Amino acid sequence: MRKSLLSVCVAAVLAPMALSMGIAHGAEADSLASAMTDGKASINLNLRYESVEQDNALKDADALTLRTRLNYTTAEFNGFSSVVEFEDSRVVAGMDNYNDGLGYQAGYSVIADPETTELDHGYVQYKNQGFTAKAGRQALMFDGQRFVGDVGWRQDRQTFDGVMLAYQFTEAFKLDYMYVSQRNRIFAEDRDLDAKDHLINASLKTDLGLLSAYSYLLEVDDNTTNGLDTYGVRFDGAKQLQEAKLLYALEYATQDADSASSSYSANYYSLEVGAAFSGITTKLGYEVLGSDDGLYGFATPLATLHKFNGWADQFLTTPKEGLVDMYALVSVPVGGGSFTLMYHKFETDEANATVDDLGSEIDLVYTMPVAKNYTLGVKYAAYSAGDAAAGKVDTDKVWLWGSAAF
């Protein structure tokens, strides 16, 4: 079924074009040929070294992997276009001393970059004035990716199979809806999940920033009761104040989680303020993934989780006691690139007799563009564990990478 997805997409793009034009076969073939041949091909390469050291019985891990994406986007024809993209991730030079998250070399720490070759994008798109529809496999990102994202940091990014509908009512107001039938996660095809998800996001541009309201109604399609419904609102903006720019973001969400044996609810809060001046950006943030009486932690299973709560990835799953993340960031231009330093202090939302302090983390990253098509980067994360009962250990991670796009 997966192998036939490309042929389905190609057939799907040809059929509606022909129906919409209603023209003779010969002329139709010429127009379709132009739409297919006048498209754009692109390639994206990412070569990355990653190492992980943890204060436990697992062996230190290191991996050198190359991710390749080949993309072809057709020209638009009567409002229709299509995209096909293949993604491949390979170990380079035999450097594969790591647990890929699928059980391979389980004695090592995890580096979640399994070897894989798969269809990354394969969809048909239709546009007409303010209306856009996409059917097929596609990436999706809403509101900074805190709840829905593509996990683009990993070599095998997250995509979704389904139908996406969007309407731009005015220049300021937009409504997006997607029905997801399958979540294509970052662990090749082995951990993909059948789903019955409804994702709704409405956004309004104002003079002070972007106001968003959303409903993410998630359900894994496995014949069990497992609903996860999240409703929220976010405001994100900036205001110029003479030589500096004031930055601010505020968000609140509430969540209900249901299974055959239990039902939980939890809240989410986020407040971030900062300033940008002379190329320097500073931010202070306070984020709470709440708990339901220490029994359930607020969950964001479709998020780009690596982007939040520390790059050491110690909180990809929210502890049942919840998570409070107090953080500070400073980003400065250095040598033609950008250097960023972050500090996180983690606590529980619902402390108990054994778990309160969830540790701290220091994150560093430097990226530098080279010419037009290349980027170099180095990144470091150092997590220091808190209470032993929290189940976390000291963790150090290092990344070195180079990427190219043509």
Ordered by where they begin, the domains of the chain are: 241-405 (2.40.160)
Residue 178: Cβ-neighbour burial (10 angstroms; 0-12, 13-18, 19+):
buried
**Cα(386)–Cα(272) distance, integer angstroms:** 24
Contacts of 93 (CB under 8 A, 6+ apart): 64
**Cα(76)–Cα(105) distance, integer angstroms:** 46
Taking Cα atoms as reference points, which of 319, 262, 306 lies closest to residue 397?
306
Walk along the chain (406 residues) and give the pLDDT tens digit of each residue.
343 343 334 334 333 333 333 333 333 334 777 888 889 999 999 999 999 999 999 999 999 999 999 999 999 999 999 999 999 999 999 999 999 999 889 999 999 999 999 999 999 999 999 999 999 999 999 999 999 999 999 999 999 999 999 999 999 999 999 999 999 999 988 899 999 999 999 999 999 999 999 999 999 999 999 999 999 999 999 999 989 999 999 999 999 999 999 999 999 999 999 999 999 999 999 999 999 999 999 999 999 999 999 999 999 999 999 999 999 999 999 999 999 999 999 999 999 999 999 999 999 999 999 999 999 999 999 999 999 999 999 999 999 999 999 9
pLDDT of residue 31: 73
Q: What is the pLDDT of residues 3-29, one digit of tens each?
A: 334 333 433 433 333 333 333 333 333
- The one-letter code for the residue type at 385 is A
The token duo for 326 is 């107090």
**For residue 103, which phi and psi values (nearest 5 degrees)?**
100, -10
**Cα(212)–Cα(209) distance, integer angstroms:** 10
Residue 199: Cβ-neighbour burial (10 angstroms; 0-12, 13-18, 19+):
buried
Q: Percentage helix, strand, coil, to 5, in the chain? A: 10, 60, 35
**Cα(65)–Cα(112) distance, integer angstroms:** 11
Q: Model-level pTM?
A: 0.90
pLDDT of residue 44: 98
DSSP string, 274-340: EEEETTEEEEEEEEEE-BSTTS-B---TTS-GGGSS-TT-TTSS--TT-EEEEEEEEEEEETTEEEE
Bridge partners, residue 66, by sequence: 47, 90
**CA-based R_g, the chain, Å:** 23
Tell me which residue has tokens 């509101």. 143
Q: How many CA atoms lie within 13 A of 28 on its CB side?
A: 12
Q: Look at strands 159-168 and 131-138 and give their pairing.
A: antiparallel
DSSP string, 99-136: B-SSSTTTTBPB-----EEEEEEEEEEEEETTEEEEEE
Do residues 245 and 294 make contact, with C-beta atoms less than 8 angstroms apart? no
